[in-house]
Every structure is written in C-alpha cells, then in structure tokens.
A and B are shown apart, each in its own frame.
Chain A
Amino acid sequence: MKPKEKEIKKSYRAPIGPIHIALEEPVYFKLDLQGETVKGVDILSGFVHRGMEALVLRRNYLQNMIITERTCSLCSNNHPFTYILAVEKIADITPPPRAQYLRVIADEIKRAASHLINISLQAHLIGFHSLMTQTMETREILQDIKETIWGNRMDLSANTIGGVKYDLDQERQKYLIKKLTQIRKPLKRVLNIFKTNSMVRLRTEGVGVIPKEDGLRLGIVGPCARGSGINNDIRDINPYAAYPDLDFEVVLEHGCDVRSRTLVRVREVYQAINLVEQCLKKLPDGPVRTPNLPRINEGEGVARTEAPRGELFYYVKSNGSDKPERIKWRVPTYMHWEALTVAMPGNKLADTAVIFNSIDPCISCTER
C-alpha cells in the first residue's frame, strides 16, 4: 500500500482532449505523467454519440444505406457496403460480376484516400507540416477521381442492394487509368520520405509498441494488426466481392510500433492502386445491379469487410417488414482503444498523439 501511494504522488495527471489541437475528433485522455513519461492512460468517450443504431431501426432498408454512410467520413464506403452485404445474405441476392468489381474499385479508392489522410496526420503530429500538406496534396488526386466518378468527394454512395449505383464507361475507365498513373510519381516522392527520412524514423521507431501476443489478446484488426505481424485482412481470410479473383498479397510488418503501422498503410496505398488497375483490366461486361429485388425475408445476416481501419462487422436482423429489427455494427477502433492502454504507458508525452493517431482512430464510427 505504502509504495503505491508514493508512486501516485510522484505522478501528475494531465488531460488530452476532448478539445485539443492534436485530436481530430473529441475524445478524452487522462494521462498519468511522471516527468515526460506516460505511466497510465484513462480513456473517456461519448462526445459524438448520435444514436445511430436506434435511428436505423426507424428507416427502411434503402434509407439505411444512406444513414450508415453518414456514420463516418473516411470509411463511408465500407459502412453501407458491409450493411448491404449482410442484407444481401438475408435476401439471398447475388450481385452481377461487374458490380463485384466496381465495388472493389470504390472500396480501394476510399482505402487509399483514408490511409493517406492518416499518414499525413502523422506527419503533422511529429511537427512535419510540409510533409503533411504535400501528402494531402497528393491525396487530392484521389479526391478528384472520387468527385469525377461518383460525384462527391467523401460519400461515394457507390453501393446499393444488389449491385452498385454507378458504372464505368470507356471514358471514365480511361480517366481513372490516367489519374492512377499520374498519382504514382508524387505518391512515391512523398511516401519515400515516410520510409527513409531519418528524423521521421527517429520519431516513430520503437514508439507505441503493441506486441503480437497483446495484439492477439486484444483482438486488434486492420493495419494495426498487420503492423504487429498478425494477418487479419478480411480480404484475404474471408474474401468478399471480387477479391477472390484478384491477385494481391497481404501487407505484413513485424515492428509492432508506429513506424510499422505507417509502413503497412504506405504499402497498402500502392496495393490499392494496383488492385484498382487489376479490376479495370479484368472488368467483365454485364449489368451493374440485379434487376428485380426480392422482398427481404425474416432472417439474420452477418457480414464483415476490411475497412481502411480494419475489420468492420455488421449484424442485421429482419422480421419481414420493410424496416430492420436490429442492426448492430462493430467498428475497428473499438478494439484499438483497449490496445492504447498497452501501447501508451512507458512512452513520452510527446508521443501520445502520434500513438493515438497510429491506430487510425475513428471516434464517430465507434460512438455512432
């Protein structure tokens, strides 16, 4: 009892959040600090709760595609996508093959954009503002693609039950290929800085370590898990849409630290571009959605996809009416919060923001 009391006296508590420059979304950390070292972390949340899981029960299946899309901006493609996959399982709909490929294209473009925003924020947090703006500038090409093809810079609204809402004609395919070739050069220039710059390495190497065992215990997903050497890529272990036909290798890094998570994201940006190009090559002809949608029967459906942040899981229960009886979703950040209590203690105060960013937090997904 005695020594512990002393320990507490020596440390002091400082908050980061809910309103803090380093945070993109409101979340509240209570840090126990000893000098500059973080001894413990307490996470409080609930600042952006919007009652989404209740809202979706009041709308019909088609409206829910829109509302799930509004859960979060960066994985706004994956939320309706996974929801649609679950609904399609209940209603036993198989989208046409062309739609499967178009779904992957939308998914991968969003993934690349999301990863780029995350690593650019990392550059911002380590005080490298020019790198941040340059990365964002590169990402702007992806935004142009989104705006041209889907008509919106964030919410693509690409998927619908039984297919997709858009089609790529010859002109758009050409445009997409042109833009993807155009992005490669600036992307390489920017991402090489993340890979090789010694001062970036100095700030990210050995920081925020989540060992493989802890990662497995806490069930971390997505680039975080892959940065700790855990293959948790749903596209690989439980493929959906057109992923079984595509040729890609799961990106794995074994450093377990912030740097390897960044490297995973960097490599996945390239991978996403490759996948889109593959899709365009293999794109089959045919309709983009099932013509006659059946009524959604009573039943339950579960689907999971690989969102930019990791595994996204949707459970949909239908009672035969036009509104779902229950929709529950689990987002990747949820597991990563717990991982923060492993990753943060022992690191410097300066690194807390970097570590928090490295799990690619999405508070609005998590609190919905």
Chain B
Amino acid sequence: MSGFEAIVIYLGMSLLVVFLMLAASAALGPFRPAPGKATTYECGVPLLDPGQKRYDVKYYLVAVLFLVFDLETILIYPLAVNYTKFAASGWLIFFEIFIFVAVLLIGLLYAIKKRAIDWE
C-alpha cells in the first residue's frame, strides 16, 4: 500500500489551492450588487419557463446504459491484468472473456436497435 499517502498529500494540495483561489477571488473582487446583475441570463428577455424542469428521458437512458457497460468493464479489469498468466494455462479465460464481450456486444446491438441512442 505504498504511495497512497502521496496521493492524499496531492489531493490535499489540490483542495488547498482550490479554496485559496476561491477565497482570493472573493477577497479581491468588488461587491457591488445591482438588480440587473443577478438575473438569469436568457438572451435578455423575460424568462420563458423555469430552468429546472423535466428534461428528456434520453439523458437518463444513456446514464443507465453507461452504468451497465461501465460495471461490466470494471468486472473484466481483474481478468485483464492477469491475462498473460491465464493465457499460458489454456484457453478457458479467453473464452470467458469472449463470452463476456459477446454478451456486451449483443446488449449494445439491442440498445441500438431499440433506438436508445438515436436522438430523433
């Protein structure tokens, strides 16, 4: 478990600098509130609709698909890192990966066929 304390230091450094930057900006910048300043930018006209409302379900669909694919990718990682060792001992792991990838591909083709990714 070597090296992780370095990462912690690195993260701490990032955190420190980010907050220093924001604090410096807050301290150095002027504060002159005016009614026009804080309005939402919408091309200079009165707001048509509130901004936060229901948006297209397509974005959600992409998120679900991502979850499926990314999880499966993570599942192959342990196999992949030791793959050379497995490969020396036979074809078993290769076929396992093959089946895994094939299932993924079929799933992807199904999603494409269902037009989950088309933005029509």
Q: Does A35 contact B (CB under 8 A)?
A: yes
Q: Does A173 contact B (CB under 8 A)?
A: no
Q: Is A37 a contact partner of B120 (Cβ separation < 8 A)?
A: yes
Within 8 A of A (CB), among B37-75: 42-45, 48-49, 53-56, 58-59
Q: Is A34 a contact partner of B45 (Cβ separation < 8 A)?
A: no
| B interface with A by C-beta (< 8 Å) | 42-45, 48-49, 53-56, 58-59, 119-120
Complex formed: what's the CA distance from A13 to B53 in Å? Answer: 11
Q: Give the contact stretch, choosing among A15-23, A146-154, A300-308.
A: A15-23
**Distance (Å) between the CB of B51 and the closest chain A CB?**
9
Q: Is A18 a contact partner of B44 (Cβ separation < 8 A)?
A: yes
Nearest residue, chain A, Cβ from B46: A15
Q: Is B53 a contact partner of A12 (Cβ separation < 8 A)?
A: yes
Task: Give per-residue flags for A14-42: 1 if the beta carbon is below 8 A from chain B beta carbons, else 0.
Answer: 11111110000000101000111100000
Q: Which 10 A-B pairs have the closest CB atoms?
A: A35-B56, A19-B44, A13-B48, A15-B43, A20-B43, A13-B49, A35-B58, A19-B43, A36-B119, A17-B43
What are 11 A-B interface contacts by the 8 Å CB criterion?
A12-B49, A12-B54, A12-B55, A13-B49, A15-B42, A15-B45, A16-B43, A17-B43, A34-B56, A35-B55, A348-B119
Residues of A within 8 A of B53 (CB): 12
**Distance (Å) between the CB of B118 and the closest chain A CB?**
11
Complex formed: what's the CA distance from A47 to B21 in Å? Answer: 41
Residues of A within 8 A of B58 (CB): 35-36
Complex formed: what's the CA distance from A62 to B53 in Å? Answer: 58
**Distance (Å) between the CB of A194 and the closest chain B CB?**
26
Nearest residue, chain A, Cβ from B119: A36
Q: Is B56 a contact partner of A36 (Cβ separation < 8 A)?
A: yes
Residues of A within 8 A of B49 (CB): 12-14
Complex formed: what's the CA distance from A10 to B53 in Å? Answer: 10
Nearest residue, chain B, Cβ from A30: B48
**A14-B49, A18-B44, A20-B43 provided; 10 other pairs, C-beta below 8 A?**
A10-B54, A12-B49, A13-B48, A15-B48, A18-B43, A30-B48, A34-B56, A35-B58, A35-B59, A37-B120
Residues of B within 8 A of A17 (CB): 43
Nearest residue, chain B, Cβ from A17: B43
Complex formed: what's the CA distance from A28 to B46 in Å? Answer: 12
**Distance (Å) between the CB of A38 and the closest chain B CB?**
12
